[in-house]
Amino acid sequence: MAEFTMELNDEQREVRDWLHGFAADVIRPAAAEWDEREETPWPVIQEAAKVGIYSLDFYAQQYFDPTGLGIPMAMEELFWGDAGIALSIVGTGLAAVGVLANGTEEQIGTWIPQMYGDQNDVKVAAFCSSEPDAGSDVASMRTRAVYDEAKDEWVINGTKTWATNGGIANVHVVVAVVDPELGSKGHASFIVPPGTPGLTQGQKFKKHGIRASHTAEVVLENVRVPGSCLLGGKEKLDERLARAREKAKASGGERVKNAAMATFEASRPAVGAMAVGTARAAYEVALEYATTREQFGRPIIDNQGVAFQLADMRTQIDAARLLVWRASWMAVNGKPFTAAEGSMSKLFASETAKKVTAQAIQILGGNGYTREYPVERMHRDSAIYTIFEGTSEIQRLVIARTLAGMPIR
């Protein structure tokens, strides 16, 4: 177990500074353009690939940092640059982690390189889980995968929504129901190779924020994938389903639902770190503005009303980061979230991002309301953090039911 410390080590500081430089020199200057265009920023992703940020190796190094701080540190710096572009850079990681967590060595070696491509031919991947009627309620998923034993193929039908890189991805990882009676334990993940007939892009969403990140529906109509595209293989799936059926009988199904929620709980600190990055960016703009903007013959930070807002903003950002770091450290060291610490970090950080970016606009006044200054975009971007990976209302529900010792449905 890694010894707890509040200070980054030399290697972590070096990586942080490197990422900050990329965010400042490459991401931030391009942010306004790609927000207006509402398109995937391929040139920026290619630059990230050239320097090694857009790669499985980099993501894996941060993911396996024994302190747990590698991923939140990376997310904070990239999203400090711009949330939409950063999500385009890290979005493939969702699909890659799905394969790493569930796939065989052969599947990992075959598919993950195809998700990223190389610096001369950049690719992206999409993780497709949410559905029109199944967002936070994963047990309501309807996309079905049926095994055709004669052909050793899986036939997938359904519609996925809110998929980052959905439809434009080289490789799609799709979560589907294989046994409806088992709820979320009856799900399995499948690789859909590039060019597979039946997979099409549905509606591309025109969003309030994170507009440089491609978000769309993915429609699957009689999509046939080889048996080798079932992550983990059929033997492993059959064994897992058999165990789940026994547990469901013994516990009345509640343990099945809790396991599904625990999976989401472990991933939420990373979203909290994204929110911290956006909040910090807006705070820094507001602080610089307040120290240079003069009204009534003095900088506006001399006015207590402005100074106290900045004090609160900084305090909330630091508190949010500490909650994220605590949850990340607990997760990597196998500490159970007995008080839903993962949800706590995501809830507080996401709400902080919305509040801090709104305060930044207020401090900048009319300038903050225009697109000449970045806080307007940051405020629009911040709204997503209280929605994806479970809304703030869901986080509060998870925390409350965990504290009460009640099952999480």
Could you give the C-alpha distances from 136 to 208, 370, 409, in angstroms and in order? 21, 34, 10
C-beta of residue 200 within 8 angstroms of C-beta of residue 168:
no
AA identity, residue 146? V
For residues 90 and 164, what is the distance between their CA atoms, to the nearest angstrom? 10
389 is an active site residue: yes
For residues 240 and 231, what is the distance between their CA atoms, to the nearest angstrom? 13
C-beta of residue 338 within 8 angstroms of C-beta of residue 258:
no
Go through 24-51 and write b for each residue having 16 or more CB atoms within 10 A of its CB, e for each that does not.
eebbbebbbebbeeeebbeebbbbbbee
Q: What are phi and psi of 121, to 5 degrees?
A: -145, 75
For residues 247 and 249, what is the distance between their CA atoms, to the nearest angstrom? 5
The percent of the chain in helix, strand and coil, each rounded to the nearest 5, is 60, 15, 25
Question: What six digits make up the tokens of 221?
Answer: 């109509």
For residues 320 and 269, what is the distance between their CA atoms, to the nearest angstrom? 10
Tell me which of 47, 105, 389, 393 is the catalytic residue: 389
Question: What six digits make up the tokens of 316?
Answer: 């909330």
| Active site residue ranges | 389
